[in-house]
Structure 1
Amino acid sequence: MDGAGLLWGPVRTINTSNALTKDAVGLSSRGSSGEPGKAHVIVFANEKGGTGKSTTAVHVAIALAARGARVAAYDLDHRQRTMGRYFDNRADTIKRIGRDLPMPRHLTHDGESLPRFTEQLDGLTADVDFLVIDTPGRDDRFARMAAQRADTLVTPMNDSFVDFDLIGQVDPITYKVTRPSFYAELIWDARKARAKADGSTIDWVVLRNRLQHIEARNMRRVSDALDQLAKRVGFRIIPGLGERVIYRELFPKGLTMIDSRDFGEMGLAHVAARQELREMMSALALPEPVLPLFA
C-alpha cells in the first residue's frame, strides 16, 4: 500500500492534472466551503522565514489531493519559489518514475502585477475544492490581500519567543503576555475587512512547527504565552510538523510523507512523521470531501 493509503485509507487513482469531476471523486456539488462553486482558501502566512511554512503548505495540498479533492496551489513568493520549485520537482519525479501521484494545479505570481494576481486567484479558485496559498516570509502587499481571502489562515511558528514576538510581546520577568504585536493586529484588520466585505469569518490557526522532541522550560513558557494570547485575539493552536531531516531530503524529488512507497525502506522516524501529518490534518479541521480524509 502506498503512503496515501497508510495515512488516509484507500484512495482512488488521481491523474497529474488533478482535474477529476466531482462525481468521479465523490465530492458534493458544493465547494468545500459549503457554498456552490466556492473553493475553501487556505493561506499560509508568516512574515518570518524559517518556520517550515512552504513545506507544510505543500504537505497539506498533497494530502487533500490524495483524498480525491480538487486542489490548486498558488505561490506568492516569486523570489524563492519554494512551493513552486517543490511542485516542479514533483512533476519531474512523476515523469521519471512513470506513475501518477497526487498533484495540484499550481501557479507562481510575479510579485508585481495586481491585475495578474486577481486574474490568477480567480482562475485558480474556479472549479476546485481547495486553494492553498503560500506567502513570502516578509511584508508583502499580495500576502495581505490573500489573507483577506482566507477561510483558514495558518501561521506556522517555531517554539521560541523570537517567533512569538511576531504575534505578541511578553514581560521579560514573568513571561506573561503584555500586548499583541503588529502581525496579530494585521490579521485583526484582515478579519474586519473580510467580515465587512462578505460577512465571512477567518479561522486563524497558529501552527507550532518544528517542535523539538524534548520537553523544556522554554517550550512550556511559549505554550503558556500562546494560550494567553489565543484567548485575547482569537486563534486556535495546533501541533505541526517536527524538526526532521526527512523533510529536507524529500524536496529535490518533490515527494511528501504521503508518498511513502517511493522512499524505499521506512524507519521509525518516517512512521512518526506520518503520524504528525495525520494529527495536523485532523487539527486543521478543514471541510471534508464526501470521501473522508481519514478512514
Structure 2
Amino acid sequence: MTVTADAAKPASDAQSTRAHIIVIGNAKGGSGKSTTAMHVIVSLLTMGYRVGAIDLDGKQKTLGRYIENRQDFVSKKQLDLPMPSLKVIEPSQKKNMDEAQSDERSRFVAALQEQVYNNDFVVVDCPGADSFIAKLGHSFADTLLTPMNDSFIDLDLLATVNEKTYDVERPSWYSEMVWEQRKRRAMIDKHQIDWIVMRNRLSHTDAHNKRNIEQILDKLANRISFRSAAGFGERVIFRELFLKGLTVLDLRNKGVGIRMSMSHVAARQEIRHLVKSLSLPNVGDRIELI
C-alpha cells in the first residue's frame, strides 16, 4: 500500500481521497488503549464521519469485542447508534517467523487498503507488546496517540528518569521505536507522524505526583518531539460501558437506559477536549457535535 499525506474529508467529498489514519499505540497493557480508541471512533461517527476500525491484537481482541458488544446491544434494543466498519487481524499460524510476519503484513495492508478508501478516518488499535504487527501499525500512522496511566510506572515506557532529580536520562526502547518508525515514514512519503502522548486515568487527588509527571513530560516532549494531551479521569463509567459496547457519548440516547449524571457530563467534556487536542483534519468545526 502506498501511504500518502492526503487529508481526510467528509463523506460528501471525493471518494478517491484516502482516510486519515489514527494509530493508538503503547507497548504496555492496561493503559486504556481500546477504551480510548472506541471513544475516538464514536466521537468521529457522532460528527458525521465514516470510520473504519482495525484491531491488530487479534489474540486479545479487546477493541473487536467492544464493537461486537455494541452491535449486539444495538440489535437487541433496536437502537440507531452509529457503527464503524471493523477488521480484526488474527495472529499468523505460520511457524516460520519470516513467513508469519509476511502473512500478518499482507493481511493488515489488505485490510487497511479497503478501509482507507471507504472511510474518512481509520482507527488502528495496536497490541500492548513489542511485536512485529505493533511496529507495522505504528509506521502507517498519520496521528499516533499513546495513552499512558499518569504514573511513574507508565512514564518508564517513554524514558528513564533520575529518581532524585527527575531529569530525563535517556529515552526508552518504545520512544526509540517510534522515532525509527517516524524516520522510516518520512523517507517513504515525507509525512511527519504527529505523536500525542495522552495522560490517562488522571486522579482528582495527589496533585504533587501530577505536577511531577507533567514537568517530566514537558522536558521529554522537547527531546523526542511529541505533544501532550489530557485524557480521561479515573471513572468507573469507562469500564462499565464495555459490555454494552457503549461510550459516554451514547448516553444522550434515552434508549440505552442509563441516566446521565454530572460525572458523565464531565467525562463527555474530557472526550471533547481530547478530540480537539488531536487537531485532526477538517474536524475543528464539528467538535461541538460531540
What TM-score do the two structures reach when normalised by structure 2? 0.88
The code of the aligned residue for 1:207 comes to M
Q: Is 1:50 paired with 2:35?
A: no
Question: What is the CA-CA distance between 1:80 and the residue it aligns to?
Answer: 1.2
Letter in 1 for 2:17: G
Three-state SS of the structure 1 residue aligned to 2:249 is coil
Alpha carbons of structure 1 residues 257 and 275: separation in structure 2 relative to 1, 3 Å: same
Deviation at 1:266, TM superposition (A): 1.6
Matched AA of 1:171: N
Choose the corresponding residue for 2:168, options 160, 177, 184.
177
Task: Report if aligned partners of 2:52, 2:119 keep a CA contact under 8 Å in 1.
Answer: yes
Alignment partner for residue 282 of structure 1, among 264, 276, 280? 276
Contact 1:67 1:292 in 2 (8 A): yes
Deviant stretches of 4+, over 3 Å: 25-28
CA distance in 2, matches of 1:179, 1:122: 37
1:101 and 2:86 aligned: no
Q: 1:239 to 1:198 in 2, by over 3 A?
A: same
Greater shift, 183-192 or 209-218, is seen at 209-218
Counterpart check, 1:159 vs 2:150: yes
Residue 239 (structure 1) aligned with residue 239 (structure 2): no
Distance 1:198 1:130 in 2: 19
Contact 2:19–2:120 (Cα < 8 Å) also in 1:
yes
**Cα RMSD between the aligned structures?**
1.8
| Alpha-carbon separation, structure 2, partners of 1:186 and 1:68 | 34
| CA apart distance, 1:165 | 0.8
Q: 2:14 aligns with which of 12, 24, 29?
A: 29
The alpha-carbon deviation at position 282 of structure 1 amounts to 0.8
- Listed as ranges, the gaps of 5+ residues in structure 1 are 1-21, 31-35
Q: Contact 1:156 / 1:207 at 8 angstroms: preserved in 2?
A: yes
In structure 2, distance between residues paired with 1:253 and 1:292: 26
Q: What is the CA deviation profile of residues 262-289 of structure 1, one whole-angstrom value per residue up to 9, with x for unaligned ones?
A: 2422211111111111111111111125
Alignment of 1:198-237 (within 5 A): 198-237=189-228
| One-letter identity of the residue aligned with 1:218 | N
Tell me how far apart the structure 2 counterparts of residues 283 and 134 of structure 1 sit (CA, whole Å).
19
The equivalent residue for 2:127 is 136
Alpha-carbon deviations, 1:163-220, whole Å to 9, x = none? 1111111111111111111111101100100000011110000000111111422221
- SS in structure 2 of the partner of residue 293 of structure 1: helix
Structure 1 residues 37 and 102: alpha-carbon distance in aligned structure 2, compared to 1, 3 A threshold: same
Corresponding residue for 1:5? none
Find 2:286's aligned residue among 282, 286, 292.
292
SS of the residue aligned with 2:72? Answer: helix
5+ residue gaps, structure 2: 1-7, 93-102
- Asked if 1:186 corresponds to 2:177, the answer is yes
Identity of aligned residues (%): 46
Please state whether the residue corresponding to 2:275 is helix, strand or coil.
helix
State the alpha-carbon separation in 2 of the partners of residues 292 and 75 from structure 1. Answer: 26
> Could you state the TM-score of these two structures normalised by the residue count of structure 1?
0.87
What CA distance in whole angstroms lies between the structure 1 residues aligned with 2:106 and 2:165?
A: 48
Aligned match of 1:265:
259
Q: 1:211 to 1:148 in 2, by over 3 A?
A: same
**1:59 maps to which residue?**
39
CA contact (8 A) 1:76 1:109 kept: yes
